[in-house]
Structure formats: structure tokens, C-alpha cells
Amino acid sequence: MTPLGERLRALRRERGVSQKDMAAAIGVSAAYLSALEHGRRGAPTWALLQKIIGYFNVIWDDAEELQHLAETSHPRVVIDTSGLSPAATALANHLAASIGRLAEDDIKGLIAQVEKARKRRR
């Protein structure tokens, strides 16, 4: 499941909406919506994301959160390290080989470390 899929499922459950009903309302199939929630489909288009935001009638911060989650919800990531340091290439390969065996807390910790390092470089 992707971060966006997890949030969509939570929003549907909070509002008591089935996948079938939501899919019909935003103009996609229930199978597509299920695949989107489970990470078998990439991030939705901007237009579809706007339909989702409108469907849930979310505003400002919640809409921004959904947009951010969509941007970070590509289930098949490719990291191009050409032109970067050997350490960057090693990190990308190590992460690719290890991610399936990491505990959720470790993953969250790594995300926090990367965000902290990225902010220092701004």
C-alpha cells in the first residue's frame, strides 16, 4: 500500500464510503481505485487528484497533504545515480536490496534522517 492509498482508505472509512461508490463518483472503476489504494497503480494524474480532493471536500492543509502523498506514492521507484558519488550509488543499491526486510520504525527513522539532511542542504 502506498502512503496515498493508506490515506484514501482512511478517508473512505471515516466517511463510510465504499470503493464502488467513490469510484463511480470520481469517474474511475472500482478495480482502478482498489489498485491505487494497494499500490498496484502509480500516482494519480493531477486531474484525478483534484476530483478526489473535491469528492472528500477537503480544504487547504488536507488538500496539500493529499498532493504530497500522491507525489511520494510511486510504488516502483527508479533512482538514477549517474553523475553522483560512488557513495550515493551504493546507498541506492543497498536500500533497494534491503527495503523489504526493514522494520516500519526503521523506515520511518530513515525518512526522518533524509528529510533532516535535505533541509540542511537548502
Torsion, Cα of 53, 56, 61, 65 (10° steps) = -60
pLDDT at position 73:
85
DSSP assignment of 30-89 equals: HHHHHHHHHTSS-PPPHHHHHHHHHHHT--HHHHHHHHHHHHT--SS-----TTS-HHHH
pLDDT tens sequence across 7-28:
999 999 999 999 999 999 999 9
Q: Under 8 Å CB-to-CB from 34, ≥6 apart: which residues?
A: 19
Average pLDDT over residues 114-119: 92
Average pLDDT over residues 93-110: 94
pLDDT at position 1:
83
pLDDT at position 77:
84
pLDDT tens sequence across 51-88:
999 999 988 888 999 999 998 888 788 899 999 999 99
Q: What share of the chain is helix, strand, coil (3-state, %, to 5)?
A: 70, 0, 30
Grid cell digits, residue 47: 486531474
Kindly indicate whether the domain formed by 3-71 is annotated with CATH number 1.10.260.40. yes
pTM (whole model) above 0.75: no
